[in-house]
Chain A
């Protein structure tokens, strides 16, 4: 089979980045308009309808995480990525609808985060593949010389890594090994020390400095903001569930609060 997209999709392909960057603002706009049109009882973020949307949206966002992280546990990566993108899109829209398009309230910062994440995700998916591809042959650091001292340092780093690895995963080969979630859970201190050595080595090799910053950090930022989002959502859930009064600030509290400690 030919790995090909028909020509008519070309335009759409170019458009997709715009699509990803617009998805959040458009969803916000539409939700806001809906909010003004729907009766108050329905449009409140805490209303049963909006609440259900929030729950489904959040679940989808969790699946979004699962989608990409599953590859780290040996699940098929490419299917994961597809799940990741689909669930991220629907989840994001649902969560925004739930918010009623309010970006100025405290939880609004989560929506801004979503916007940034979607934009970075879109970049990663649409623009970066071509950048990755065009990187071929553009860095020739491997054909330059390195100062003797730096090489000595590098040698030391490698042998320290080998020492640590003997404790972390005795059967592994340093040259092929990198940390997985399992190591962080089982031996966080060793993992941390190992990571520090890796960082030193990466710095000498050039690594992220060897390509354009956008290419080097796009995924990193997408990741960081995603984890921030996860933390933000958790905090949001805790506050609305356990500090309902504080959140409601005079508006009705529905069935959803478990305890009002606020």
Chain B
């Protein structure tokens, strides 16, 4: 057998730590016990910290040295560490090891692990157990979303390195002869990689006091206990990547979750979250019984009760509230954990049978802006391209604009980056901070938060002025583009005009415009960085217009791609069963409901069912909490106790993923991944569907919300796929392949999947024959009289006029909201017919509240957003391993700014906005704009491992886009103080 090795590509690695999760899962390693670790490296924190070295990742494991320092240091005889003569693999004999730690001291790579509980060394042996069982690769290489890790005979790896002309990092200063091959960066490369000029941020892997006792099976168990007897394919229900996975069981016990290598699309790649979700399924912290509050609300005192008692009492209270305040006094909020089947199915049905318009999901926090913008422009609320090599992989230019895909959909990013490197296409990232995505780009543009719309308008101005637009496409397929052109030119939205707002030089804007206009296939990815602003809908439209006028629509490798593709689920409820709803929906965003609860205006809302965690997720926590506390009835349905459950009257334990059977999250790739029910929920926890059906029975809804629909697979086939686009996605078809997904739209079980929608010459799915796009005109619509009428109702115009957010370091034209949430406002013509706020664009000359705020010291731009890949909102904070990787709430701040404030790396700081204050630990990061700070979402003060207040104590519920009601979460003012 030849000498074996790992090859690790720094150009590809995104630091997601999926390999860490895979390793711990394969070897059942407990907290702090490691065979590998992905070290995040920043630049040194000296005076001029180098932005080019702001972020790199070193996936570290044993180098399987020719002259292993660890072996020589081992005092035991015969040595407790040995080296295989053929493969070169260095292995520790855990039974012979006396735990003296000498090898740990000796290894200059810091690659020798230790089991603090069993008190012996542990180390990477290139998965010898796994290979002995027939696997051809290591656990880490198998899951890596970016293909950064390759395993194989060292000679072969060296050959590919040479063939691809890649430079290797020098990793043998001490003549130990390491086997591992590290490939140096290609893009963004200044000089040879040298760990000596790097610094590892203190907030990552900073150790917590988690011990093996905080874990349950399979961690810490021997391999014999974990022998796999059954494998089932399914998927991950956490993010929009919708990865396919395999669930490995020993009898009925879940042993590990891996990727599904049989899936031709994802090929076994997954991020850490799906693997770590085994810790959520088996967590000791799960809610297992219905609970009823005893004592004061918020005291977190509960008694366990039966399901019957819980549902009877809740139903009783609901009836009495209905009697005094009407059925509309019930609000329903459902977050992402609850799953598509419930959010789009069970609860929605319940709300219609009960008679309340007040049902919302997290859309107004995430994506309602882009949904509306797509619907207006394209006629359907999501993009039509797919993550295939011949579609999105074929783009010549990828522009990530406010989309940190590498950390939010790590596998899709890995695929794009792989194709890009193979094809040699360019990547540009526009983001105020050097996100992981930006760290991989050919060009990172650190835009001012809130300057996106201005930049996009300027690019369009440049393109029109220089006649770089695709006139043929515009003429044939765009309605109102000429009107738009003259509007832009008349308004004078030039690069010179935009430079100040975007904080980007004029020349850079020219260059960016040229690149976008000339690329043969450009995909502009937009996401929360575009959506979470007061100009959410309009910014999205402007970016859509940019893609359209450059011909990047309805073609492979060209798009405006703002995820994700919402499922066109139509619920079939017989007319006569629909409840009579007399009042219009309160605001589209549930943060707009607080006045209805607190003051009974515009009309009273007295009871709420909340799934997931509004008491961390909703903007403006102080107001949110005041409101939720004032309700007559608050029912919380979830899998873990959290901030919200502490305030609830009843807490109902729910099931998730393979405990109930569901589809993956609305996938940005239009893949519908089916997840079978494979295990029972813990204790007496129940699937969400069960809960709504049982509650429905108390009101006589069982003829619509049928008993048999507790079986989610049946519910899918019978209740959810009547829309022509979903009709072919039956259980039968989903189960007809080993990866259980189908890419919609397909109208029959036989119809082939469509890779790229809206191609020239095609008819849009569900549209009348000949209509390329599913709009009324069959074209992309920039301007119509009807649009103009609708926009003007909100105080805006159909041709997007520039305005930014209210809080900014410079005076921008911005939006002042006219209607307070206690006022009715208007019946919004766009957003599902609910009561809407109106706005008014205020000129930059009007001194805003900014000047005063800046004078008061709020002189940093606050950006909130998703943390690194192992975390997802609050879910992952119940997994010890995500917590081990990223324990603390942090604030990214530029070293220069930090120095001025006297803040040290890793130190505790106070962050204050005009809306509240929180604590966090400082992460001195040279990839930050010196005037901005970033704080991630997801932490909460009642989480089991490390307790921090949610960043939403700093955000403001009133800063909303009137059309989509998206809250501005990306551009606020704050100040930071050392403690």
Contact A210–B105 (Cβ < 8 Å): yes
- Name the one of A3, A131, A215 contacting B118, with C-beta atoms under 8 angstroms: A3
Contact A76–B96 (Cβ < 8 Å): yes
Interfacial chain B residues near A124, Cβ < 8 Å: 100-101
CA distance A68 to B75 in the complex (A): 10
Instruction: Report 28 cross-chain contacts, Cβ distance below 8 Å, ordered by A residue.
Output: A2-B217, A3-B222, A10-B213, A71-B75, A76-B96, A78-B95, A78-B120, A128-B101, A129-B114, A131-B101, A132-B99, A136-B34, A136-B60, A138-B200, A141-B173, A142-B172, A142-B176, A143-B109, A143-B195, A145-B194, A154-B175, A177-B72, A178-B71, A205-B174, A207-B105, A210-B110, A215-B105, A219-B102
Given contacts A132-B101, A140-B110, contact A154 B174 (CB under 8 A): yes
Which residues does A use to contact B, with CB under 8 Å? 1-7, 10, 68, 71-74, 76-78, 80-81, 124-125, 128-146, 151, 154-155, 158, 174-178, 180, 198, 202, 204-208, 210-211, 215-216, 219
Given contacts A143-B109, A207-B106, contact A151 B173 (CB under 8 A): yes
CA distance A76 to B221 in the complex (A): 22
Contact B101–A146 (Cβ < 8 Å): no
Given contacts A71-B75, A133-B114, A143-B194, contact A219 B32 (CB under 8 A): no
In this assembly, does B132 line the interface, its C-beta being within 8 Å of a C-beta of chain A?
no
Given contacts A5-B213, A136-B114, A215-B101, contact A142 B37 (CB under 8 A): no
B214, closest chain A residue (CB): A7
Interfacial chain B residues near A131, Cβ < 8 Å: 101
Within 8 A of A (CB), among B225-254: 225
Q: Mark B261-305, 1 if CB is under 8 A from A, else 0.
A: 000000000000000000000000000000000000000000000
Interface of B: prevailing SS:
loop
In the complex, what's the smallest C-beta–C-beta distance from B908 to chain A, in angstroms?
21
Interfacial chain B residues near A216, Cβ < 8 Å: 105
Contact A136–B112 (Cβ < 8 Å): yes
CA distance A145 to B171 in the complex (A): 8
For chain B, the count of residues having a C-beta within 8 Å of the partner chain is 77
**Further contacts, 19 of them, CB under 8 A, given A132-B104, A135-B112:** A3-B212, A3-B220, A5-B117, A10-B213, A77-B98, A80-B98, A129-B117, A132-B101, A132-B121, A133-B115, A136-B110, A137-B60, A142-B171, A145-B173, A174-B67, A175-B67, A175-B68, A175-B72, A207-B106
CA distance A207 to B964 in the complex (A): 60
Contact A143–B71 (Cβ < 8 Å): no
Within 8 A of A (CB), among B715-729: none
Given contacts A178-B72, A180-B77, contact A142 B178 (CB under 8 A): yes
Q: Which of A7, A80, A133 has the most CB of B within 10 A?
A: A133
Contact A137–B108 (Cβ < 8 Å): no
In this assembly, does B39 line the interface, its C-beta being within 8 Å of a C-beta of chain A?
yes
In this assembly, does B830 line the interface, its C-beta being within 8 Å of a C-beta of chain A?
no
Contact A142–B174 (Cβ < 8 Å): yes
In the complex, what's the smallest C-beta–C-beta distance from A197 to chain B, in angstroms?
12
B198, closest chain A residue (CB): A140
In this assembly, does B574 line the interface, its C-beta being within 8 Å of a C-beta of chain A?
no
Interfacial chain B residues near A125, Cβ < 8 Å: 119
In the complex, what's the smallest C-beta–C-beta distance from B60 to chain A, in angstroms?
5
Interfacial chain A residues near B97, Cβ < 8 Å: 77-78
Interfacial chain A residues near B115, Cβ < 8 Å: 3, 129, 133
CA distance A139 to B103 in the complex (A): 13
Interfacial chain A residues near B111, Cβ < 8 Å: 136-137, 142
Given contacts A175-B67, A205-B69, contact A143 B169 (CB under 8 A): yes
In this assembly, does B196 line the interface, its C-beta being within 8 Å of a C-beta of chain A?
yes
In this assembly, does B187 line the interface, its C-beta being within 8 Å of a C-beta of chain A?
no
Contact B96–A77 (Cβ < 8 Å): yes
Interfacial chain A residues near B80, Cβ < 8 Å: 77
CA distance A158 to B66 in the complex (A): 13
Given contacts A4-B212, A78-B97, contact A71 B105 (CB under 8 A): no
B113, closest chain A residue (CB): A136
In this assembly, does B63 line the interface, its C-beta being within 8 Å of a C-beta of chain A?
yes
B196, closest chain A residue (CB): A144
In this assembly, does B193 line the interface, its C-beta being within 8 Å of a C-beta of chain A?
yes
In this assembly, does B116 line the interface, its C-beta being within 8 Å of a C-beta of chain A?
yes
Within 8 A of A (CB), among B303-355: none
In this assembly, does B683 line the interface, its C-beta being within 8 Å of a C-beta of chain A?
no
Q: Which of A76, A144, A205 has the most CB of B within 10 A?
A: A144
> Shortest 3 CB-CB distances between A and B: which pairs?
A175-B67, A146-B173, A143-B195
Interfacial chain B residues near A215, Cβ < 8 Å: 101, 105
Interfacial chain B residues near A139, Cβ < 8 Å: 107-110
CA distance A48 to B74 in the complex (A): 44
A178, closest chain B residue (CB): B72
Interfacial chain B residues near A202, Cβ < 8 Å: 106
Contact A132–B114 (Cβ < 8 Å): yes
In the complex, what's the smallest C-beta–C-beta distance from B13 to chain A, in angstroms?
14
CA distance A213 to B200 in the complex (A): 21
Contact B105–A143 (Cβ < 8 Å): no
In the complex, what's the smallest C-beta–C-beta distance from B250 to chain A, in angstroms?
14
CA distance A146 to B200 in the complex (A): 20
Interfacial chain B residues near A219, Cβ < 8 Å: 100-102
In the complex, what's the smallest C-beta–C-beta distance from A146 to chain B, in angstroms?
4
Contact A143–B171 (Cβ < 8 Å): yes
B71, closest chain A residue (CB): A176
A174, closest chain B residue (CB): B67
